[in-house]
Amino acid sequence: MKKYFFSLFGKQQEIQNKLLAYIEHTETMALDMEQAVGAYLSLDEPEFSKIRARIDEMEHRLDLLRREIEEEIYGRHLLPDTRGDILVLLESIDKIPNRIQALTREMALQRVQVPEILHPSLRNLAERDVKIVQVMSRAARAFLDKPDQVKPQARELSYYEHEGDLIEQEAVALTFADNSLQLAHQLQLHRLIDDLGSICDIAEDVGDRLVIAALKRIL
């Protein structure tokens, strides 16, 4: 019986450590994405490819880690409520590495030429993405450690998401205002801006889900 209890609680610690590692790797991936955007805009092809390879590898590692966590969660290790909350957290955060990988892949495949006038907006948007992923990670850690502190982080997420929206709108407006660009090119740029801005939206969604799960926990 003693062995049973200790193995059970040891497993919980293991799941928590893996979750924290998952959150940390997601943050690292966001930083890589910002560097990838910088390299892409500077037309530094070798650097961009190097970062993209790193992102692909990290996304694969995160997939494996997510599966490991899910398998352990579905074992006899957590109560149904906790199991549900952790799975929601994991599934919603998982959209960020997937989106980052898809974004850099599209950049590599489409090789869209970005006019100089859009560079500051795209750099700003990538920077906002990093910032919002960092706040989201703080919120996720708070959910695991101090669920009552998730709400203020979620408010911060909404603030950054709004800022991201403004930058995105400005970039789209600049794209379509430039008459020297062909419509197809404009639409390609629009999609790139959309994809970059969507990371803010996903992070805000994670925050909303965390707030609901945390409210449920603090009775």
Partner 1 sequence: MWLSGGFFLGWAVGANVAATVFATAVAARMLRFSTAVELSIVFIVLGGFINGPAATETLNRLGPVATLPSAFTLAVVSAAVITCMSALGLPVSAAQTGVGALLGYQLFQQGTISTPAQPLLRTIMITWICAPVFSALIAFLLYKATVQVFRRLPMPIFLMDQALRLGLILAGCYGAWAFGGNNLANVVGFYASQDLFAPVHIGPWVISQSRILALLGGFAIAAGIASFSHRVMLTLGRDLVKLDAITALLAILAQALVVDFLAHSWEFGKHTLPAIPISVSQALVGAILGIGMARGIQTIKLKILGNIIVAWITAPVFSAGLSYLLLRLAHRLA
Q: Please report how close the Cβ of residue 210 comes to partner 1 at its closest, in angstroms.
A: 11
Rule CB under 8 A: choose which of 7, 8, 177, 215 binds partner 1: 8
Based on the shown chain and the rule CB under 8 A, indicate whether residue 4 belongs to the binding site for partner 1.
yes
CA distance 157 to 137: 10
- Give yes or no for a contact between 87 and 59, defined as CB atoms under 8 angstroms apart: no
* 5 in contact with partner 1 (CB under 8 A): yes
Instruction: Please tell me whether residue 147 binds partner 1 under the rule CB under 8 A.
Output: yes
Q: Is 73 in the site for partner 1 (CB under 8 A)?
A: no
- Tell me whether residue 195 is exposed, middle or buried, using C-beta atoms within 10 angstroms of its C-beta: 0 to 12, 13 to 18, 19 or more: middle
Determine, following the binding rule CB under 8 A, whether residue 78 of this chain makes contact with partner 1.
yes
Shortest distance, position 67 Cβ to partner 1, whole Å: 20
Task: Examine residue 212 and tell whether it contacts partner 1 (CB under 8 A).
Answer: no
- Residue 87 beta carbon to partner 1: minimum distance, rounded to whole angstroms: 13
> Rule CB under 8 A: is residue 91 a binding residue for partner 1?
no
Determine if residue 115 is left, alpha or beta; phi over 0 gives left, psi from -120 to 50 gives alpha, anything else beta: beta
- Residues 9 to 28: which contact partner 1 by CB under 8 A? 9, 12-13, 15-16
| Residue pair 30/130 in contact by the 8 Å Cβ criterion | yes
138 near 153, Cβ under 8 Å?
Answer: yes
Is 201:161 a contact under the CB 8 Å cutoff? Answer: yes
193 CB-side CA count, 13 A: 28
149-208: which residues touch partner 1 (CB under 8 A)? none
Ranges of H-type helices in the chain: 2-41, 45-74, 80-110, 119-145, 150-177, 183-217
Minimum CB distance to partner 1 smaller for 83 or for 105: 83
With CB under 8 A as the contact rule, which of the stretches 3-11, 106-114, 123-131, 180-188 interacts with partner 1? 3-11
- Site residues for partner 1 per CB under 8 A: 1, 4-5, 8-9, 12-13, 15-16, 76, 78-82, 85-86, 143-148, 217-219
